[in-house]
Structure 1
């Protein structure tokens, strides 16, 4: 169940997504929070340089293997402005990260992009549960999700 603490972290994800957009990148942002509630790592999309794998959720997965024990990873929560793509969902599972909370879903993003006339990408927008076993993600979350929608409208309306 998403609570006020979760909403606070999702708002930070939206701030990060806005920062990515302001820097000329796709508007995605993510935060890794440990079991004690401390923010351990945060990142934005960095795909504008041409490397389409530079998603914040993938960076979180890599960072976590260098800085957290397997038990700490399993107890951590990844908050993100948009539901993990299949690549990031797989990375999340392979490194043993725990809970996922997202502001907007892959289905929502697909719909928004279609409305904006953006052609689909090379990877199917599968829900996390179709890629990863044993994780029940939480989202989309009203409020932050609408803000993410507006950021994508701004990005693709350029």
Structure 2
């Protein structure tokens, strides 16, 4: 695993598991400043919050827009358990956040959900760079993808 990202991605998986235990889809994200300080973190709240836009990546983009200068945003990194959906990728791009590092890809998630018999997403699966073409993106990270897969399997099966 890429050394610098390991603890941040592990925290994302922990947040995803917290979301699962709370009854939400297992996604977690962390926003890190260019100097390595963890600025904010969040987990998915779509099911329990009743709002399909309560994705952690979207929440971090909104937090960054309110709390960071444009230069700070562009130098920051978002670490996340799963690749951004098109909505979150667009928010990331509009706010001007920097690099994204994800543990599992949207394509992996789509394959897993189909395998588990889950309902198909109402939003097309797209790589982040199809939404924000010039963004620096790293992932998936094989060492964590299996853990993320298991969280999604548990969610589809009906529990934490």
TM-score by length of 2: 0.96
Confirm or deny: 8 A CA contact 2:77 2:98 kept in the other structure: yes
d(CA) in 1 for partners of 2:4, 2:41: 16
Q: Deviations over 1:16-51 (max 9, x none)?
A: 000000111100000000000000000000101321
TM-score by length of 1: 0.97
Structure 2 segments unaligned to the other structure (5+ residues): none
- Residue in 2 aligned with 1:5? 4
- Residue in 2 aligned with 1:21? 20
Is 23-32 or 130-139 further displaced after alignment? 130-139
Q: CA RMSD in A?
A: 0.9
- Residue in 1 aligned with 2:40? 41
More helix by proportion, 1 or 2?
Answer: 2
d(CA) in 1 for partners of 2:110, 2:2: 26
Deviation at 1:119, TM superposition (A): 2.0
Deviation at 1:146, TM superposition (A): 1.0
User: 1:143 is paired with a residue of what secondary structure?
Assistant: helix
- Residue in 1 aligned with 2:119? 119
d(CA) in 1 for partners of 2:59, 2:121: 20
Q: Which runs of 4+ in 1 moved over 6 A?
A: none
d(CA) in 2 for partners of 1:26, 1:90: 20
Structure 1 position 107 matched with structure 2 position 143: no
Deviation at 1:133, TM superposition (A): 2.2
